[in-house]
Structure 1
Amino acid sequence: MSGGAIVLAPLAGVVRPLAQVPDAVFASGMMGPGLAIDPTGDTLHAPIDGLVASIHAARHALTIEAVNGAKLLLHLGIDTVALGGAGIQLLVAEGMRVTAGTPLLRFDLDRLVREATAIVTPVIATGNGNRIEALATGMVTVGMPLFRLVQGDDAPVVETADGEGSSRRVAVRLPHGIHARPAATIGAAARTAGAAVTLIHGDRRAPANSVTALLGLGAACGSVVTIEAKGERAVEAIEAIAAVLQDATPETAAAPPPLIITGGSPGEPGIAAAPGVAIGPSICWQRPVAQPIEATGEPAFEARRLADALDAVRATLAAGAAADGARGAVIAAHGAMLDDPVLLDAAQASIAAGRSASVAYTVAIAEQAALLTGSGDARIAGRVDDLRDLEARVLAALAGGGPAAPSDVRGAIVIADELLPSDVLALADAGAAGFALAGGGPTSHAAILAAGAGVPMLVALGTTLAGVTDGTMLILDADHGRVEVDPPADRLTEVEAEDARRRAEAQRSADGPCRTVDGARIELFANLGSRADAEAAVAAGAEGCGLLRTEFLFLDRATPPDEAEQRAAYTAIAGVLGDRPLVLRLLDVGGDKPAPYLNLPAEDNPALGVRGVRVSLADPALLDTQLAAAIATGCRIMVPMVASVGELDMVIARAEALGGAAASIGVMVETPAAAMTADLLASRAAFLSIGTNDLTQYALAMDRGNPAVAGGIDGLHPAVLRLIAQTCAGAARHARPVGVCGGLAADVLAVPILLGLGVTELSVPPSRLAAIRAVVRRLDLRTARDHARAMLDQPSAAAVRAAAACFAGEMR
């Protein structure tokens, strides 16, 4: 097939990357590359000139074969085959010649929304060797360019060098291709070597110091890229970057599967992006956008205008980046994007070609956004929101002001198609009670900021709230993935009373010990990653820190932190906690968190290779430095990814050699091996803490970074619960406490089961402390034990969740 064919939008609606399609076969790209559209219209049109090659008997799927041999599959909705053609009217027949824009079928949108799993419609380029370049994001109308279909790149790895520079062709082994983290690592490697480095994929080129350009290469796993470098240390830079590209470590930051309550539950399903429950009137919100001005002055004048606007935005971002935690990190990332040389050069080139500053910047943003959307990776495509955020800021500055401040949102649930990160910050600061979005994703920066602000958010609600008008009362339950629209008065009263009771209870108990109804003591700690997290945790009544992630000191840098830097960071957090316990997890890199200076080897199965404690044991100097800093600070020490008593003994021996014989050293139970030998580990460890995220992944043999299986990952699977029970039983033989610091600890349905199995400590994000404390204080531990035992015999995670929801209802 020859490349370059333009595929037009066959539907009006919202463009989605395939990764957001709720079906593993499409989301994983098994059928081929493409995009999907969440439709707002009722007619499917031909996206290209060609022949109607096939029509499924259920009329929900057609294949169009173009004159150049390209085949496009149009699949109306998900699980619409079960409708048997009901609600779908064919307008063409097999063998018919069509032109782009020809109506193919008409469908009953309301019926499909009610009866199908989803109405999002994939447009797939089937066959081998295909890839796409996205040409559209957000809303599209019929006939707008959707994507360009081009040849794949299957060239073998070769190396070349010449007198002026060096180059090497490398096969990308990153499971999700070049996305944000490896792009940042590539840039750091190039800067460390002081070399001018360019990466080439197909007909695209990207300087190594441009994150957006690297993301825009569209280099997926298996792609071949050429690394070109010039400078005295060119070869060193190439080798460092090649090592990053060939790191087959799996990503484990995939979004959790949506929890959809069915079987008569009120409301519509969505995906929880930030937990919690909110009640309030709806406000349908649209971002005020400054429009680009086409009138231009001289190029020099427009260039000065753009430079002044960038300076103004840069100053605003610099002030915001001083904030700690997620807010500061996201704003700092925006600052880096603002100074991206590829983006700036593109804008300057447009100005030189006669465009105004605002039009030039808009065009430059659109070009970069199209590259990111075309990556096919939901997380990379999610960074388009960051680019659009920059665009809004710069256009507002060019118009003579800043972004308009939101008004009249206090106590309201904001309904929007999507929110940019700055929207979330402004709306949360203005008092919004919750966010309900038609689009968006649970791993976007907007979602991270909502969670950090403690504002519940549901995303991917599609058109389910399209008819909701301002002032409609809503119950947004992100814990259970649903929105109740205009609930009856008695239901609203019930939920308001429950919410008020929960808040009052949380306020009363914030400074007191956490106990069940029958007096059992449960320690409620917080998971921390910064001093700001510690301050929020103390304000919310945390009794200590059950997990301090130390990776924030080690990642995205060329060399590891020394003992003094580590000690200062740990001391600052310990100072906020006061006399509360601080459990410090030793460096947990490898897997989804590579550190370039460690020179970890490429592995066929990196999730089963050198990661966690194995990394530290392979680099004794790195381990000793961190142990010395932790011992000096008086932290409890937790060893990650332990699979044997021998690994724990080696860490204990090194701590004792550093004068830490009295240090409290425990293990993180993340492998089935650790769970099954918990009694052996407990004979040496001071405490055990279960990391349910990794334990679930390993127990179910499902990679959370693989969309084909990630939807089946649920920590309430009976197999995982049995491993937790085994851990608690083994620890009890030596009177060792067991905590949970993974995702299940913050799940209101899981907490009664965990405590019933013998867990005595929960460590959760600071924003979840009040909700989890309320669950514990309503719980009778004897009843929880009976409930937990029954859950071990359930046939599936879905069955456990259904039973747990009933149990939670009985507790209220």
Structure 2
Amino acid sequence: MSDSMISLLAPVDGIVVPLQNVPDPVFSAGMMGDGVAIEPLSPRILAPADGVVRQVARTFHALTLTTRDGVDVLIHIGIDTVNLGGEGFTAHVAAGDTVSAGQCLVEVDLDRVARRAVSLVTLVLLPEGGQLSGRPRAGQLRAGVDSLGLLRPGDGAMAAGGDGPEARASAIVRHAGGLHARPAAMVQAAARAFSADIQVEYRGHSASARSVVALMGLGVGEDDDVTVLARGEDAAAAADAVIRALQTRTRGDHAAAPSAAQAGPDGGIAGVCASAGMAIGRIHRLDAVALVVEETAGTRDEEFARLSQALVSVREAIQAAIADAARRRAAAEESIFTAHLALADDPELIALAERGVIAGKSASVSVRDAVEEQGRVLLALGNPLLAERVADLRDLGRRLLVAMGMPDGLPSELPPESIVVADDLLPSDLNRLPRERLAGLVLARGGATSHLAIIARAMGLPTLVAVGERVRELSEGQRVILDSAAGRLDPEPGEVELDAARARIAERENTRRQLLENAGGPALTQDGCRIDVAANVANAGDAAEAAEHGADGVGLLRTELLFIERDSMPDENEQREACQAVFDALGDRPVIVRTLDVGGDKDMPYLPLPAEDNPALGLRGIRTGFARPEVLDVQLRALLALKPLSRLRILIPMIAEVAEVRRVRERIDALCAEAGIGERPELGVMIEVPSAAVLADQLAREADFLSIGTNDLTQYTLAMDRCHAGLADRLDPFHPALLRLIAMTVAGARKHGKWVGVCGAMASDSLAVPVLLGLGVTELSVAPVLVPEIKARVRSLAIEQCRKAAEGLLLLDDARSVRERAAALWQHH
């Protein structure tokens, strides 16, 4: 290593911030090492020195650069930005790339990140104990020009596991179920913030706090005592952080497993209920198919490349599954896949596979052996909870092997009404089976606390686990009755048992079927008032689902999905065809089409919009249309070409004043005249900002109807960002201020004989329905699958009673009081 001084350049334009002022104790207390903090003023993060990219976080918010002299420099962009999942970050380098000082490493969407992160402050740190001299104390820095200071390579300090101060302390593990996957991942995250070597000791065994698998392998249960031993310069802080992570009390994500029912005298097979339900079907055996793993290896470099590529591919697939679960608000699935991602990052598991490659094995054999070895460790502990986690390891192993080209052995088709029988099944296996033909699951192994069980419950799929060797008695095609709620499978039902089971299944489905069967009729209140229940859709598939569920029309067609995540703007024909397909799926029912509702927060390279400090208060909705009139004209021409035009209702988003409505109507009139169209579609206004609600009487004079977007109206009225996690519990549409604005909107519309609908999330809330009806709303637009439920809710209510109750709600002080009063009035109605 050279004795020359290394000059680090500023990676970003910005203002120097004292390190102790950084809003995160890990950084401000120096736990991550010495360095400089910068409040960024430019989006591009540049290399502060020549070197090699050692590591890039999967969310791109941080990376480590090793200089030519072997010094590690960590660049961390923002505080808590890992929670953004990569949103707002674009990496221009990858691990292993050689870079030059001033080269762009990462590009940051400063506006997007600033809205969701604690802080944008960017840190340049020396995590291995180095010290900077001649650092800037204050003022503005120019990226790639100004120096952050000088570092002598010899000043570099200890790597993890080296000598240094020692800290030892005891902790009581408070996580429900002990150190299983998710709590172990929490501990891992705490440990990674420090340079010290950190070990967790339990009953004579020790594991690195940086390894999820090793921590799980200790077999630590809830309320067990462990010892934390840390060695290194930041040992005390590291030990404290890990102890806090160990002692954080979390709730379990599963219900306690019921005891297996005993087999009856009729020869029924007993098991443990993992997901309650009843099904009649025929057995389809999905016996474990061992993957054929190639035993011959290529060169060591080739096998390392195969392993690395498989890890990247699997991580990306798991990240996509996490994002999909988050969009569907499937919290259980999101949590499961997050734990799987932690396993894919586990250093000990990866190191074990790498050692296999070094020993001359193929990458696939090395992965198989590593998973089997770690699985044996967990199974040998005799802890049922940890034994169930072996399925997660096997799931990861199967994913990696398939990514390397191994066949997964799963069927692409199933017979109708299949009750799948297997020794065990992985969560990813279940997701790949055709759901429409799957009636139930019966597994020899597994448990009610497994990740597969959680997903089965989310799917509403009857599932019996821990059946044992008796699954071998079941033959392909054999008709059975699965009553997982009772923990029982009847392998040889007679006609009497089949008839009884059919009756019970029919009874359980009766309510749901009745709702669906009656959904096509009008939603009339008990005192004869009709409320239209429409659907919010994004495409023709959604519209078909809405029609199947009895929607009275489309209350909101979001057209922006045609525009985002593409390189060119959809032309008039593409927009017309997409909207016409929605029309065709709805028969003769009306369709409300919202014009393009995008702003600077949407990435559309063909529609560049100026950067804004707060896009929610800038060019959004119709303001974007006015800023780019050619885009609005193309969309309006496409809509005016729909047939029949009498079913079209155009909805304008983000209206704040009357002149905006007149401007759009004048443009529609001009385009109709240009095309020789004599008919005019109805024109509606979205009530999303308080000024629109206050001016509802004036807007209703110009518009044909008003539609309230309660999501945005809530955030703008309460001045609380709807994406701000810390304010989520206070961002409540039941706030009396919101209710008063809704009442004001209805009153203004009535002056001109116009109707008011609600297309925001509040319309889907069963408790909110009587409130909205009481305030005078006559149309509700909800997700397609919710239409039958909301129609049934409307039919149970009387408008006059709702109206009298709503008057009292307007006088209450806060959202909590409104909810409590509404629950007392209608929750059990």
> If the TM-score is normalised by the length of the shorter chain, which range does it land in?
0.5 to 0.7
* Cα drift, residue 744 of structure 1: 0.8
Do the aligned partners of 2:764 and 2:790 also contact (CA within 8 Å) in 1?
Answer: yes
Do the aligned partners of 2:410 and 2:429 also contact (CA within 8 Å) in 1?
Answer: no
* Helix, strand or coil at the partner of 1:154: strand
Unaligned runs of 5+ in 1: 1-29, 34-124, 132-148, 161-165, 171-177, 184-197, 206-213, 230-237, 253-267, 273-280, 321-325, 366-383, 457-469, 475-494
Give the equivalent residue in structure 2 for 1:676.
694
Q: How does 1:194-273 map to 2 (within 5 A)?
A: 201-203=63-65, 218=82, 244-247=109-112, 250=115
> Of residues 606, 609, 612 in structure 2, which corresponds to 1:603?
612
Do the aligned partners of 1:524 and 1:543 also contact (CA within 8 Å) in 2?
Answer: yes
> Of residues 582, 591, 605 in structure 2, which corresponds to 1:582?
591
Give the equivalent residue in structure 2 for 1:665.
683
> Of residues 512, 518, 537 in structure 1, which corresponds to 2:546?
537
| Equivalent residue letter for 1:803 | R
| Equivalent residue letter for 1:154 | A
Partner Cα distance (1:217, 1:717) in 2: 31
> Of residues 693, 696, 705 in structure 1, which corresponds to 2:711?
693
Partner Cα distance (1:765, 1:666) in 2: 20
Q: How does 1:415-454 map to 2 (within 5 A)?
A: 423=431, 430-431=438-439
Give the equivalent residue in structure 2 for 1:402.
410
| Equivalent residue letter for 1:753 | V
| Residues 781 and 592 of structure 1: CA distance in aligned 2, closer, same or farther (over 3 Å) | farther
Partner Cα distance (1:619, 1:284) in 2: 55
* Helix, strand or coil at the partner of 2:702: coil
| Residues 155 and 31 of structure 1: CA distance in aligned 2, closer, same or farther (over 3 Å) | closer
Give the equivalent residue in structure 2 for 1:562.
571
The question of 1:646 aligning with 2:659 is answered yes
The question of 1:391 aligning with 2:399 is answered yes
| Residues 795 and 592 of structure 1: CA distance in aligned 2, closer, same or farther (over 3 Å) | farther
Query: Deviation string for 1:504-560 (max 9, x for gaps)?
Result: 542442222221111101111111012111111111111110001111110111221
Do the aligned partners of 1:157 and 1:224 also contact (CA within 8 Å) in 2?
Answer: no
| Equivalent residue letter for 2:402 | V
Greater shift after overlay, 293-302 or 753-762? Answer: 293-302
| Equivalent residue letter for 2:65 | D
Query: Deviation string for 1:682-734 (max 9, x for gaps)?
Result: 11111111111111111111112222212211111111111111111111111
Give the equivalent residue in structure 1 for 2:298.
299
| Residues 563 and 714 of structure 1: CA distance in aligned 2, closer, same or farther (over 3 Å) | same
> Of residues 28, 33, 39 in structure 2, which corresponds to 1:128?
28
User: Over the residues paired in the alignment, what is the CA RMSD in angstroms?
Assistant: 6.1
* Cα drift, residue 594 of structure 1: 3.8
The question of 1:800 aligning with 2:818 is answered yes
| Residues 159 and 540 of structure 1: CA distance in aligned 2, closer, same or farther (over 3 Å) | closer
Give the equivalent residue in structure 2 for 1:209.
none
| Residues 707 and 309 of structure 1: CA distance in aligned 2, closer, same or farther (over 3 Å) | closer
Please identify the structure whose Cα radius of gyration is greater. 2
Do the aligned partners of 2:705 and 2:756 also contact (CA within 8 Å) in 1?
Answer: yes
* Helix, strand or coil at the partner of 1:523: strand
When normalised by structure 2's length, the TM-score is 0.51
Partner Cα distance (1:652, 1:31) in 2: 51
> Of residues 514, 518, 521 in structure 2, which corresponds to 1:512?
521
* Cα drift, residue 626 of structure 1: 0.7
Partner Cα distance (2:627, 2:104) in 1: 21
Partner Cα distance (2:109, 2:289) in 1: 40
* Helix, strand or coil at the partner of 2:577: helix
Unaligned runs of 5+ in 2: 1-20, 49-55, 68-77, 95-102, 118-249, 255-270, 277-285, 322-326, 372-391, 442-446, 463-482, 488-503
The question of 1:655 aligning with 2:676 is answered no
* Cα drift, residue 680 of structure 1: 1.0
Q: How does 1:486-525 map to 2 (within 5 A)?
A: 502-525=511-534
| Equivalent residue letter for 1:297 | T
Q: How does 1:609-624 map to 2 (within 5 A)?
A: 609-624=618-633
* Cα drift, residue 605 of structure 1: 2.2
Give the equivalent residue in structure 2 for 1:636.
649
Partner Cα distance (1:548, 1:393) in 2: 42
When normalised by structure 1's length, the TM-score is 0.52
Do the aligned partners of 1:154 and 1:224 also contact (CA within 8 Å) in 2?
Answer: no
* Cα drift, residue 430 of structure 1: 2.6
Do the aligned partners of 2:759 and 2:782 also contact (CA within 8 Å) in 1?
Answer: yes
Partner Cα distance (1:359, 1:600) in 2: 51
Query: Deviation string for 1:74-129 (max 9, x for gaps)?
Result: xxxxxxxxxxxxxxxxxxxxxxxxxxxxxxxxxxxxxxxxxxxxxxxxxxx54527
| Residues 592 and 519 of structure 1: CA distance in aligned 2, closer, same or farther (over 3 Å) | farther
* Cα drift, residue 203 of structure 1: 3.4
The question of 1:283 aligning with 2:145 is answered no
Partner Cα distance (2:610, 2:448) in 1: 42
Do the aligned partners of 1:309 and 1:397 also contact (CA within 8 Å) in 2?
Answer: no
| Equivalent residue letter for 2:653 | P
* Helix, strand or coil at the partner of 1:658: helix
Query: Deviation string for 1:393-418 (max 9, x for gaps)?
Result: 82797365128999999999xxx999
Do the aligned partners of 2:534 and 2:781 also contact (CA within 8 Å) in 1?
Answer: yes
Do the aligned partners of 1:678 and 1:727 also contact (CA within 8 Å) in 2?
Answer: yes
* Cα drift, residue 597 of structure 1: 2.7
| Equivalent residue letter for 1:624 | D
* Cα drift, residue 358 of structure 1: 3.7
Partner Cα distance (1:595, 1:204) in 2: 35
| Residues 808 and 502 of structure 1: CA distance in aligned 2, closer, same or farther (over 3 Å) | farther
| Residues 307 and 796 of structure 1: CA distance in aligned 2, closer, same or farther (over 3 Å) | closer
Do the aligned partners of 1:529 and 1:549 also contact (CA within 8 Å) in 2?
Answer: yes
Give the equivalent residue in structure 2 for 1:723.
741
* Helix, strand or coil at the partner of 1:683: helix
Partner Cα distance (1:219, 1:154) in 2: 20
Do the aligned partners of 1:31 and 1:126 also contact (CA within 8 Å) in 2?
Answer: no
* Cα drift, residue 307 of structure 1: 13
| Equivalent residue letter for 2:539 | S
Aligned length: 523
Higher relative contact order (CA 8 A, sep 6+): 1
Partner Cα distance (2:288, 2:732) in 1: 40
| Residues 31 and 682 of structure 1: CA distance in aligned 2, closer, same or farther (over 3 Å) | same
Query: Deviation string for 1:167-208 (max 9, x for gaps)?
Result: 8589xxxxxxx999xx9xxxxxxxxxxxxxx99844399xxx
Do the aligned partners of 2:275 and 2:460 also contact (CA within 8 Å) in 1?
Answer: no
Q: State, as a whole percentage, how many aligned pairs show the same letter.
A: 37
Do the aligned partners of 1:299 and 1:352 also contact (CA within 8 Å) in 2?
Answer: no
| Residues 598 and 309 of structure 1: CA distance in aligned 2, closer, same or farther (over 3 Å) | closer
* Helix, strand or coil at the partner of 1:656: helix
Do the aligned partners of 1:502 and 1:771 also contact (CA within 8 Å) in 2?
Answer: no
* Helix, strand or coil at the partner of 2:613: coil
Do the aligned partners of 1:155 and 1:224 also contact (CA within 8 Å) in 2?
Answer: no
Query: Deviation string for 1:570-629 (max 9, x for gaps)?
Result: 111111112111111111112653423322222222211111111111000111011111
* Helix, strand or coil at the partner of 2:593: strand
Partner Cα distance (1:573, 1:406) in 2: 32
Partner Cα distance (2:705, 2:253) in 1: 35
Query: Deviation string for 1:204-243 (max 9, x for gaps)?
Result: 99xxxxxxxx9999597999998679xxxxxxxx999958
Partner Cα distance (1:568, 1:223) in 2: 32
| Residues 780 and 157 of structure 1: CA distance in aligned 2, closer, same or farther (over 3 Å) | closer
* Cα drift, residue 799 of structure 1: 2.2
